[in-house]
Amino acid sequence: MEGNKAVAYKGPGKVEVIDIDYPSFELKDGPGINPANVGRKVPHGAILKTVATNICGSDQHMVRGRTTAPPDLVLGHEITGEVVEVGQDVEFIKVGDVCSVPFNIACGRCRNCKERKTGICLNVNPDRPGSAYGYVDMGGWVGGQANYVLVPYADWNLLKFPDKDRAMEKILDLAMLSDIFPTGFHGAVSAGVGVGSTVYIAGAGPVGLAAATSAQLLGAAVVIVGDLNEGRLAQARSFGCETVDLTKGGPAEQIEQLLGVPEVDCGVDAVGFEAKGHGAGAQEAPATVLNSLMDITAAGGALGIPGLYVTGDPGGIDEAAKKGSLSLSLGTGWAKSLAFTTGQCPVMKYNRQLMMVILHDKVNIAKNVNAKPILLDDAPKGYAEFDAGAATKYVLNPNGYLS
């Protein structure tokens, strides 16, 4: 049987590359596996040899100890791979296919899946709607920062690239289809971005940069990205975004200097529950982004909120924050008739269209997020550098597919 190495969470601030079992078409017991899923048969699944698997800011929340993730949980939900085995019930996906794996695990059979709400599938997580690979409280599907990974409901979940050779030429771009590109695009779409829009994106991490790229693709007139990290702001400027340095204070005044008014048509939260306040030396203040977006988004506008919020945060700044309860100025949002869209991005709603945009040279998402391939054994270093604020999207290369 093939060997299989994987990146595992070992405790706050620590990840290690460990040996794990080669996948089988049955869920086994292990760290983070929901007991109700143990023994679940997966004849509809496929085993992929990983081509690329990315480090995500959502992984960092777990690694920082800011969730209830157990030690030895195998990480990784941004997966691209080559099919090496298929279950007996797989009809259309074939061995040798190179595919993008949506980070949402979905059955394709339930009411929500049939309505394209694949981020809240009803059948893959016994605890709640919605699931993902290698993530706490998501049912226990083993993560993909590994040599091999099992993908259930393969005919439904996998996005096959139409030409293997052409795909490998653009593989770093296509590797962004599993999560951050559709997630950023979903944030921009749900914020109402269109031709001529003015857009403010809170956060210049990879999802924020993907949202900025998406806003440009959707025809925005001005895309403004705000962050406390100058390196990440420079990355946003590298592909034509305006920027707001939040170490100098809140965004309204700097937006007014750019637009002549202190507001935008559309707002996107690409930060989530570990948000900090504004100004030099800003400390954690998790409601800051949402409240500032309500302040600066024009009446009748919308907020796209792809940034992650959780119901359990052991490191929260107070008892309310530990339960996901934040002090939001909902009255501001109500008075301005603002619309809000939260939750997992339904990746399958967008990934095929975005694949075509990449294959036909309409966007270079890997360049915009500064994607950098690294070896699987270098994952702990990649996690540390990303956590320290590197303006880089780290792409793990477990099997040598990437140059």
Which pLDDT tens digit goes with each residue over 48-64? 999 999 999 999 999 99
Closest CA relative to residue 90, chosen from 50, 120, 48, 126: 48
Q: What string of DSSP letters covers 278-289?
A: SSTT--B-TTHH
Which pLDDT tens digit goes with each residue over 317-330? 899 888 888 899 99
Report whether pLDDT(218) > 60. Answer: yes
Query: Same topology for domains 5-179+346-397 and 185-341, yes or no?
Result: no
Q: What is the pLDDT of residue 311?
A: 86
What is the distance between the alpha carbons of residues 202 and 10, in angstroms, rounded to a whole number? 30
Which pLDDT tens digit goes with each residue over 284-333? 998 999 999 999 999 999 999 999 998 888 888 899 888 888 899 999 99
Q: What is the pLDDT of residue 324?
A: 86
Could you tell me the pLDDT band of residue 269, with boundaries at 50, 70 and 90?
very high
What is the distance between the alpha carbons of residues 258 and 107, in angstroms, rounded to a whole number? 46
Q: How many C-beta neighbours within 10 Å does residue 257 have?
A: 11
Q: What is the pLDDT of residue 259?
A: 98
* Backbone Cα Rg of the chain: 20
Report whether pLDDT(1) > 70. Answer: no
Mean pLDDT score of the chain, rounded to an integer?
96
The helix or strand, by DSSP H or E, that contains position 184, with its residue range, turns out to be helix 180-190
Report whether pLDDT(125) > 90. Answer: yes
In the chain, the N- to C-terminal Cα span, in Å, equals: 27
Which segment of 29-33, 85-89, 290-294 scores lowest on mean pLDDT?
Answer: 29-33
Q: What string of DSSP letters covers 72-133?
A: TEEP--EEEEEEEEE-TT--S--TT-EEEE-SB---S-SHHHHTT-GGG-SSS-SSSS--BT
Q: What string of DSSP letters covers 353-391?
A: HHHHHHHTTS--HHHHTTEEEEEGGGHHHHHHHHHTT-S
**pLDDT, mean of residues 363-367:** 98
Domain 185-341 falls under CATH 3.60.10.10: no
Report whether pLDDT(172) > 90. Answer: yes
- List, in order, residues 6 or more apart from 71 with CB less than 8 Å away: 8, 9, 10, 11, 31
> What is the CATH T-level fold of the domain 5-179+346-397, as seen in this structure?
Quinone Oxidoreductase; Chain A, domain 1 (3.90.180)
Q: What is the pLDDT of residue 315?
A: 87
User: Domains of the chain: which residue ranges?
Assistant: 5-179+346-397, 185-341
What is the distance between the alpha carbons of residues 21 and 90, in angstroms, rounded to a whole number? 22
